[in-house]
Amino acid sequence: MMSASRQKQDPGGNPRPLGRIAGHFQKYYQLWLLALPGIALTLMFAYIPMSGLVIVFKDYNYKDGIFGSPWVGFKNFEFFFANFSKAWRSTQNTIILNLFYTVFGTAVAVMLAVMFNEIRHKKYLKTTQSLSIMPYFISWVVAGGILRALLNYDGGAINNVLVPLGFERVDFYNDPKYWRFILTLCNIWKGAGYNGIIYFSTIAGFDTSLYESAQVDGANLWKRIRYITIPLLKPTIIIMFLLSIGKIMSGDLTMMMSITNLSPMLLDTTDIIDTYVYRSVIGMGDFVMGSAVGLYQSIFGFVLVLASNWLVGKFDREYRLF
């Protein structure tokens, strides 16, 4: 292979772009070989299948296939936007619920990470971490059964506590006003422990001399958290928040089906894009329309990530994703 010193140069004596690229690969070829399987899998399962997105603009039929079916433009999007009030309701619910999940989930995860950092006994730390991450591995189906045992009108644990105290029974499964709060709690319960350990791994890499110096200077626990831990954790929080923005248009269909059972009485606050598409398309068996809405979600989410990244860059360029 050509060495860096023998690369072709332009009249000014600087290596030409192709020469610089060849030199880069020559210098780091071992790293590129190490990354090659991951790159190949990403191309195979993430980027090459994107060519199938053309299906959302086709009147697909099995005989002609994806690329042979007639072109219909944006007709497959019409079913979603035909009833604009329902489309807007599902979009609004998706954004609001995901914002709640992100904001409150991040706050709880950071608090857990700070708590983990203050536990000095290794046995207690491992036990606490294990208990906090355990819900992450529990199926939403199981979580839905647990929640139903708590919220049922007849025999639910919460109503069984309220009635002896003189309160009326609450019909949770027929009243949508409670469900944004309930779904947010469920999401935090399931994911905060996992995210808390991610934040804790970041805190574990902080220079301990900063805490020792602050303690010598008389800073109490709250001041050490406020003026050392949180500022140092800020870049990780911002990056995690920006990454979560990309999923703000995506809902967890499994969660919704297991927790709410897609109850028609709760649609005002629980009908997200995924459940709306499921209810609208599953009966017709037309997956092309579902793919069209999936593309709409992806583009909307991508635009939100770009906008959020730009906004963060206006305040501090170091915290941008790209």
Q: Where do the domains of the chain lie?
A: 4-54, 75-319
Helix (H, G, I), strand (E, B) or coil at 47: helix
- Which CATH code for domain 75-319? 1.10.3720.10
Q: What is the pLDDT of residues 102-149, one digit of tens each?
A: 999 999 999 999 999 888 888 898 999 999 999 999 999 999 999 999
What percentage of the chain's residues is helix, strand, coil (to nearest 5)?
75, 0, 20
Q: Which residues in 105-186 belong to E strands, given as ranges?
A: none
Name the strand (E) or helix (H) holding 267.
Answer: helix 267-270
pTM of the full structure: 0.80
Q: What is the pLDDT of residues 275-288, one digit of tens each?
A: 888 877 766 667 78
Taking CA 51 as the corner, what is the angle to CA 47 and CA 52, rounded to the nearest 5 degrees? 115
Q: What is the pLDDT of residues 165-215, one digit of tens each?
A: 999 999 999 999 999 999 999 999 999 999 999 999 999 889 889 888 988
CA torsion 106→107→108→113, rounded to 10°? 80
